[in-house]
Amino acid sequence: MIRIITSNFIRFVLLVFIQVFLLKNIGYYNLSVPFLYILFILLLPFETPNWLLFLLSFLIGLTVDSFYDTLGVNAAACTVLALVRVIFINLTVQRLSFEIEPEPKLGIMGFRWFFFYAIILTAVHHTILFVIEDFSFNDFKYTLIRIILSSLFTVFLMLVAEFIFYRQKER
């Protein structure tokens, strides 16, 4: 458990720094806003205990909330993201392969699995985030367009980041 925290601390700080100081000001008319910081939650090792996963997800969401001046919106979306991550991994990854493939990275799990993993979890996160942020269904089309475009932009940045640090799995 200590290894999980120490090895991912740098990733936590780096992704929050990139999100707050670089990506906060990038967007296309508020329709496509990237939230790359959720990559931290997606890349946590499989053996991360659920209580630690939820705690770290809440903390990274709360950290981003403190810089974005949103009152817990990112923390709530990240906590739901952690729940969906647990469900998705339990449905798609066998327990025996946790020792062989310890992390859900592109180089370890393969492009197809990682792409579906990233797109589904990002869409869930953005749906929760934008629905809580708008808190109404008056502009449902606008919210839906924001969810789709922001999810695509975020997944694109995730894939770029993963390809930059890509390591092919050893056979």
pLDDT tens digits, 9-62:
988 999 999 999 988 878 777 788 899 999 999 999 888 899 999 999 999 999
In the predicted model, is pLDDT for residue 171 greater than 60?
no
| Domain range list for the chain | 2-164
pLDDT tens digits, 79-119:
999 999 999 998 988 766 556 667 888 888 888 999 999 99
Q: Other CB atoms closer than 10 Å to residue 122's CB: what's the count?
A: 25
In the predicted model, is pLDDT for residue 130 greater than 70?
yes
State the pTM of this model: 0.89
